[in-house]
Amino acid sequence: MRTFNTINETQTWCRDHKRQGKSIGIVPTMGYLHAGHLSLVKESRSQCEITVVSIFVNPIQFGVGEDFEDYPRDLHKDSRLLDEAGADALFAPSIREMYPPGYNSYVEVSGEITEKLCGRSRPGHFRGVTTVVSKLFNICVPDMAFFGQKDAQQAMVIEKMVRELNFPLQIVRVPIVREADGLAMSSRNVYLNPEQRRQALVLNQSLQKAREAIAGGERNAGRVKDLLCHTISTSPEAKIEYAEIYDAASLADVQEIDGSVLVAMAVRFGTTRLIDNLIVEV
């Protein structure tokens, strides 16, 4: 596996492979990799001839008081895992490399899709995401880009950006990878103490109860949302940031559940913010 730290060497290497007619897949990450990230690498390898993984803790997608400084990092371990997983290249730039002095260019997706869920509680977050992802697309010139369904809103925002700005690539969503007990894998899970880790299981449990209610014929979104919140609140340390049901394609409000809906939540356990979601078809 090749490791690059500069934009020029990464872009040159990727363009050389493109000229050879090889397809490129990119897996953008912030590192501290787990099985969820590696499932994206596996999917890229199955569909593309070259797989590039980026590791960059992007400062402009973190708000004031968020965990940028404390975000877990272990580049040595990440590099080993990627090599074992068969990635062809790792792009691990510095902040200065991505945002040199005087940097002042941003990409922003506006409207309902960025104003709800994480967009409401993390102002400016998605501007940071779309800016860094658009830079990665221009640097690595991929044919396909792989994102996890756990960050469902992020995937939707990037899909909209790619569609509307005519990026010549395909976005692929990969299903959520969970621990054996159902907790969605996340780099932030390391922050949880043992009791918080046990209580965090309520997230997936509440999603499954919502799925069961809908499968049983419940179509009132408000009542399903009440069920979600009630179930989450059975964990004493859980502090709900949001628990919502929206149209899965547009994040439009829904009163009656019909078609495909996204059931999504963000919940804090102590200082640790966890997200999870489920798409339900009726």
pLDDT at site 118: 96
Regarding whether 137 and 26 lie in a shared domain, the answer is yes
Regarding whether 201 and 129 lie in a shared domain, the answer is no
Regarding whether 269 and 143 lie in a shared domain, the answer is no
Profile the chain (282 residues) by mean pLDDT over runs of 10 residues. Answer: 98 98 98 98 98 98 93 98 98 98 97 94 96 98 98 98 98 97 96 97 98 97 97 97 96 96 98 97 94
CATH code for the domain of 220 = 3.30.1300.10
On the CB side of 232, how many CA atoms lie within 13 Å of its CA? 26
Could you tell me if residue 179 is inside a domain?
no
The catalytic residues are 37
pLDDT at site 58: 98
Regarding whether 262 and 202 lie in a shared domain, the answer is yes
Of residues 139, 161, 157, the one with CA closest to residue 262: 157
- Helix, strand or coil, per DSSP, at residue 258: coil
**Backbone dihedral region for residue 65 (phi beyond 0: left; psi -120 to 50: alpha; all else: beta):** left
Regarding whether 151 and 87 lie in a shared domain, the answer is yes
pLDDT at site 183: 98
Could you tell me if residue 206 is inside a domain?
yes
| Domain end residue (candidates: 174, 196, 217) | 174
Tell me the C-alpha distance between 253 and 146, whole Å.
Answer: 27
pLDDT at site 228: 97
Task: Report whether 259 contacts 266 (CB < 8 A).
Answer: no
Could you tell me if residue 281 is inside a domain?
no
Could you tell me if residue 181 is inside a domain?
no
CA dihedral over 47, 50, 51, 56, signed as positive or negative = negative
Regarding whether 121 and 33 lie in a shared domain, the answer is yes
The whole domain housing 33 covers 2-174
Regarding whether 130 and 223 lie in a shared domain, the answer is no
Regarding whether 165 and 102 lie in a shared domain, the answer is yes
CB atoms within 10 A of CB 94: 11
The count of domains in the chain is 2
Exposure b/e, 231-262, CB count within 10 A at least 16 = b:
bbeebebbeebbbbbbbbeebeebeebeeebb
CATH code for the domain of 16 = 3.40.50.620
Could you tell me if residue 151 is inside a domain?
yes
Regarding whether 108 and 20 lie in a shared domain, the answer is yes
Regarding whether 204 and 74 lie in a shared domain, the answer is no
| Domain end residue (candidates: 144, 174, 204) | 174
Rg value, the chain, Cα = 19
Regarding whether 249 and 152 lie in a shared domain, the answer is no
Could you tell me if residue 182 is inside a domain?
no
| Domain end residue (candidates: 115, 145, 174) | 174
Which phi and psi angles does 224 have, rounded to 5°? -65, -40
Could you tell me if residue 215 is inside a domain?
yes
Regarding whether 209 and 113 lie in a shared domain, the answer is no
Could you tell me if residue 120 is inside a domain?
yes
